[in-house]
């Protein structure tokens, strides 16, 4: 497997000048990011399919072991505050359990049956989407989780760095990020980890965009958990509607901090009428504003 090989440039890194060593490591990171470009069509197809499944009450599930699990959990965790993705619609299946996010749990990734059982315990359905991540694409625990999701009819997405691996071959949508040999042989937190993090960023962001949780590049479903975000929300309303700051702030207050609803209130709708219009349009602000303009 490429992920177990050593990148030629890094031979002798322990005797190299520190600045030269850092330059070589940075070049590897750039190459890992660039490797995602070839996988963009696969990422697109997976995101479009996932968004369709998630328009109802389906859940977004993540499965992985070690570095892959940590990257997946980080990606999923950020969807709630950024896009108000319901926390109850996020499921994490981690080899070794939550403790493995900060500890190395010996042998956990080798237990395929545990992966199957842990995913099955979440009672997956055909409305759910599983994103399974493994640098090698052969991690038994992750393959077990994939099996359970497939048997339940959930949409499955596999992200790996080795073409032809079981994870990408068996998933409904396989995404191969060919990051190649690692700068530290086998340390997939480097090339593969960087490539996978970029792919996860792109995948989950496009899913949220397709679900109407972004408007003109603005995070209109953001949770207002601090003063900075409250000021940002008021600016978003002002920009979307073209109103003054006072009107935007008043609308945001009346909307209980919900940017989408506030934009409709600034157009003169009542809270009840605004909520109804958003519900009719599946929470899509652009469609709600278009309907309002007709």
- Both tokens of 258, joined, read 């919900």
Which residues sit opposite 160 in a β-bridge? 176
Q: Beta strands 173-176 and 155-160: pairing type?
A: parallel
Helices and strands in the chain, H and E counts: 13, 5
The pTM (predicted TM-score) of the whole model is: 0.93
227-293, CATH topology level: Helicase, Ruva Protein; domain 3 (1.10.8)
Q: Where are the domains of the chain?
A: 2-210, 227-293
Q: Is 109 tagged catalytic?
A: yes
Three-state SS at 97: coil
Q: Which residue in 7, 52, 78, 280 is the catalytic one? A: 78
- Averaged pLDDT, 249-258: 96
Q: Which residue in 109, 178, 182, 249 is the catalytic one? A: 109
Three-state SS at 155: strand
- Both tokens of 36, joined, read 């995602």
Q: Is the dihedral of CA 83, 43, 174, 103 positive or negative?
A: negative
DSSP 30: H
Residue-wise pLDDT tens digits, 53-62 = 999 999 999 9
Residue-wise pLDDT tens digits, 157-171 = 999 999 999 999 999
Q: Is 78 tagged catalytic?
A: yes
- Write down the pLDDT at residue 63: 98
- E strand or H helix at 90, and its extent? strand 90-94
Give the pLDDT band of residue 7 (cuts 50, 70, 90).
low
- CATH numeric code, 2-210: 3.40.50.10490
Residue-wise pLDDT tens digits, 193-213 = 999 999 999 999 999 999 999
Q: Is the pLDDT score of 180 beyond 90?
A: no
Percent of the chain with pLDDT over 70: 96
Backbone angles phi, psi at 63, to 5 degrees: -135, 140
When the pLDDT of each residue in the chain is averaged and rounded to a whole number, the result is: 93
- Write down the pLDDT at residue 183: 79
């Amino acid at each position: 497997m490429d992920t177990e090989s050593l990148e030629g440039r890094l031979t002798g890194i322990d005797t190299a000048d520190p600045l030269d060593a850092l330059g070589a490591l940075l070049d590897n990171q750039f190459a890992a990011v660039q490797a995602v470009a070839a996988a963009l069509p696969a990422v697109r197809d997976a995101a479009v399919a996932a968004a369709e499944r998630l328009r109802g009450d389906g859940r977004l599930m993540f499965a992985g072991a070690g570095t892959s699990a940590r990257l997946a959990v980080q990606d999923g965790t950020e969807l709630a505050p950024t896009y108000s993705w319901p926390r109850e619609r996020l499921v994490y299946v981690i080899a070794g359990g939550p403790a493995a996010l900060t500890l190395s749990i010996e042998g956990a990734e080798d237990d395929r049956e545990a992966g199957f059982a842990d995913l099955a315990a979440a009672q997956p359905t055909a409305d759910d989407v599983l994103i399974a991540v493994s640098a090698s694409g052969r991690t038994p625990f992750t393959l077990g989780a994939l099996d359970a999701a497939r048997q339940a009819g959930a949409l499955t997405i596999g992200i790996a760095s080795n073409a032809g691996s079981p994870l990408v071959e068996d998933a409904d949508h396989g995404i191969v990020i060919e990051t190649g040999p690692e700068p530290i042989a086998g340390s997939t937190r480097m090339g593969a980890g960087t490539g996978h993090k970029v792919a996860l960023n792109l995948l989950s962001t496009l899913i949220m965009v397709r679900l109407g949780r972004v408007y003109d590049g603005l995070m209109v479903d953001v949770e207002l958990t601090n003063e900075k975000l409250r000021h940002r929300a008021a600016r978003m309303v002002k920009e979307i509607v073209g109103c003054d700051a006072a009107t935007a702030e008043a609308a945001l207050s009346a909307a209980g901090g919900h940017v989408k609803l506030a934009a409709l209130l600034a157009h003169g709708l009542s809270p009840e009428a605004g909520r109804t219009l958003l519900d009719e349009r599946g929470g899509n602000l652009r469609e709600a504003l278009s309907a309002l303009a007709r």
